[in-house]
A and B are shown apart, each in its own frame.
Chain A
Amino acid sequence: MSYLYYPGCSLESSAKSYDVSTRWVFQSLGKELVELEDWNCCGATMYMSTKETISLVFSARNLALAERMGGDVVAPCSSCYTILNKTNKILKENFILKAKVNQSLKREGLSYHLKVKARHPLDVLVNDVGIDAIASRATHSLEGLNIAPYYGCQIVRPEGVFDDPENPTAMDKLFEALGGNNVYFPVKVRCCGGMLMTTFPEVALKLNKEILECAVENSADCIVTTCPLCQINLDAYQKKISKKFKIKVHIPILFFTQLLALSMGSTPKEAGLGQNLVPAGEKILGGRL
């Protein structure tokens, strides 16, 4: 069975490097990713909290397309991942909403019968491919690299489908197997504020400061994340945070697939490293320039 790849809107622009590196990792592991044909936006948190039925129709269209193509959806963006899972859950438990959604989807000749699972690439890599299999393919050890694995919110909450909602360890185990050193990082599931960076920047800056500060205090060389919104919030506002809170932060924020790709022997370009605002330093690149 192939995996139906659902990149999501941000992987087409602000998190292009997540897209590039995810495809690279899957390809070199011999796992086929077939892009879901004509996928649309999942509706994200913002639609879900605006109109209920319509937001469900938005995300269910993708699931219906996947059902027609046959296979599970792989969604790297934490928000897409949560919304698709949530849609499945709501439609499963509420037959009235399911009927409403299917009635709407009928206009495009689609229907959805709850046969598709939404999965995160971290879940697929750790549980389907297996950490040992990945470690055996690694060409560059991450030895000596201090990593702060940051999971954010929506990959493990609200359901905690494949990992613990309070203390997830999938990424920790993965990078440990690749030789990296995971630093003490108690804020690994603290919220970065998400879209509050636009609407209430004061609040979001404080949340991001706490995460960055914790990583710096525990002498991490980089923060590794699974979510496009966390990545851009932590990456793009470091100057502003340093100035506002009078602290010194300058730490690269990588997608977990970027670091994984590097340890599997990709070039920096194949890992999409050119897009990070805080450049990955010599320690991460290990002499590959």
Chain B
Amino acid sequence: MAVDVLKEPGILDKKESELRAAFLYQVSNIPGGEKIKKCIQCGTCTGSCPVSYTMDIMPREIIALFRAGAMESVLNSRTIWICASCYACTVRCPVGIKVTDILYALKRMAMEKELFPKRFPIFVLSKSFVFLINRYGRSYEAGLLLLYYLRTNPLKLFSLLPLAYRLFRKGRIAPFPARIKKRKELSAILTEAEVMEMIVPEGTYPVVPKRAVAPGMIKAS
């Protein structure tokens, strides 16, 4: 794990301060997000996490690195992609930090900046999922897995055939995607939501320290 050393103590370079402002804006949207300030570095989140054994940066260290001004290392970590959203950390945190939601915020940022290999599994899975539900209004499991493996590892499809066959015989694989009726209206809603997503009112990040604010940042992402 490479942690960038700060050039001057207390002063962040431009990229880092932009990342920080973007992150703090995301955190300010989480109900109770401001509690991140209260982290006592006890490690309960790491200890509760069922998958921390395979992470490169522990959940506790995520907050430590954010404080140390190393957002870039955090965004490049494997950790944010391994989280399975079980919320064990969130319910156990003694000061009430929404660790899972913070990891989501980091995931969104990493996706926006595409800070991972092109065929990175979870990124591809998310993209395929989003594509399908935008189109049909409902998720289509078989289509999702097919798209996912075609884009990451097509050969794996063969090894999955026996299981797929067993599931199909039991009637657990739908041959066609289910769709909602009002697909046109749904796309209209989504187009509008896409615009809404980009509107970030100025001055909505109350927890941003003055020095770290990059003016005009995150206006249009």
Contacts and interface: CB of A to CB of B under 8 A. Distances in A.
Contacts of B212: none
B174 A94 contact: no
Contacts, number: 189
What is the interface residue range for chain B against chain A? 35 or more
B204 A96 contact: yes
B11 to A, nearest CB: 30
A260 B92 CA distance: 32
Contacts of B87: 153-154, 157-158, 165
Interface of B: 26, 29-31, 50-51, 54, 81-82, 84-88, 90-91, 98, 100, 103-104, 107-108, 111, 121-122, 125-126, 129-130, 133, 137-142, 145, 148, 163, 166-167, 170-174, 178, 180-182, 185-186, 188-194, 196-197, 199, 201, 204
What are the nearest 8 A-B pairs in CB distance?
A: A191-B86, A157-B87, A13-B174, A9-B139, A153-B86, A199-B121, A100-B196, A108-B185
Contacts of A12: 138, 174, 178
Nearest to B173: A13
B62 to A, nearest CB: 15
Main secondary structure of the interface of A (DSSP, over half): helix
Interface of A: 9-10, 12-16, 38-41, 43-54, 57-58, 61, 89-90, 92-94, 96-97, 100-101, 103-108, 153-154, 157-158, 160, 165-166, 189-191, 193-196, 198-200, 203-204, 207, 232, 236, 274-277
B82 A277 contact: no
Nearest to B182: A38
Contacts of B194: 54
Of the listed residues B29, B100, B188, the one surrounded by the most CB atoms of chain A closer than 10 A to its CB is B29
Contacts of B166: 236, 277
B84 A108 contact: no
Contacts of A203: 51, 54, 82
B84 A54 contact: no
Contacts of B103: 49
Contacts of B189: 57, 61, 104-105, 107-108
Contact of A54 (B54, B98, B126, B193): B193
B145 A10 contact: no
22 contacts: A9-B138, A40-B180, A41-B138, A49-B108, A50-B107, A50-B126, A51-B130, A52-B26, A54-B197, A94-B31, A97-B29, A107-B188, A108-B185, A154-B87, A157-B86, A158-B98, A189-B88, A194-B84, A194-B85, A198-B125, A199-B121, A274-B171
A93 B31 contact: yes
B51 A196 contact: yes
B85 A154 contact: yes
